[in-house]
Structure 1
Amino acid sequence: MALASLAILLTLSGYAALCTIRPFKPCRACDATGVRRTHRTVKVCRRCRGSRYRLRTGRRLTNTTRAIHHTGTRTHPSERTTDSPWP
């Protein structure tokens, strides 16, 4: 049981390091070309929007968590602007 837990922990920490070092991965929908061919038409890939790379799921989760934390925390009293006439 401890060995399985250690393996899961190492895998998750490795994926977290990968998301930190390389946050983008090649788009699998268009094979990293940025365009999709359907019959006779060539269209920009909807998933990567033509950039050929997509944000990794772990990085997207990290960015969302940071944004939620940032909007939910209070600012420091010295950083607040005093718009009211009372201190």
Structure 2
Amino acid sequence: MALASLATLLILAGYAALCAISPFGPCRKCAGTGLRKLTKPVKVCRRCRGNRHRLRVGRRLLNTGRAIHRDGTRPHRSAHH
């Protein structure tokens, strides 16, 4: 049980490091090509819009957490000082 918990923590720490070092990963829908071949016409991938990369899920969670923390801790500036 402890070994499984340690392995899970190591995997999560590795993924967190990957998200910090490389926040963008290849698009899973087009396999990083930016194009989709469904039939004869080749179209731009709708998911990545042809950019070939998308923001990783872990990085999106980190950005959302930072935004929530920032909005909840900093006082709002008003027009009257």
Name the TM-score, length of structure 2 as normaliser: 0.84
Distance 1:34 1:5 in 2: 38
CA apart distance, 1:40:
2.0
Distance 1:11 1:31 in 2: 23
Q: Gaps spanning 5+ residues in structure 2: where?
A: none
SS state at 1:75 partner: coil
What is the aligned residue count? Answer: 81
**Structure 2 equivalent of residue 70 of structure 1:** 70
Sequence identity percentage: 67
SS state at 1:66 partner: helix
RMSD over equivalenced CA pairs, Å? 1.8
Per-residue Cα deviation, 1:37-56 (whole angstroms, up to 9, x for no partner): 22222221111111001111
Letter in 1 for 2:56: R
Deviating above 6 A after TM superposition, structure 1's stretches of 4 or more consecutive aligned residues are none
Distance 1:7 1:40 in 2: 46
CA apart distance, 1:72:
1.9
Letter in 1 for 2:33: T
Name the TM-score, length of structure 1 as normaliser: 0.79
Letter in 2 for 1:67: A
> If you compute each CA radius of gyration, which structure gives the higher value, 1 or 2?
1
Deviates more, 1:67-76 or 1:37-46: 67-76
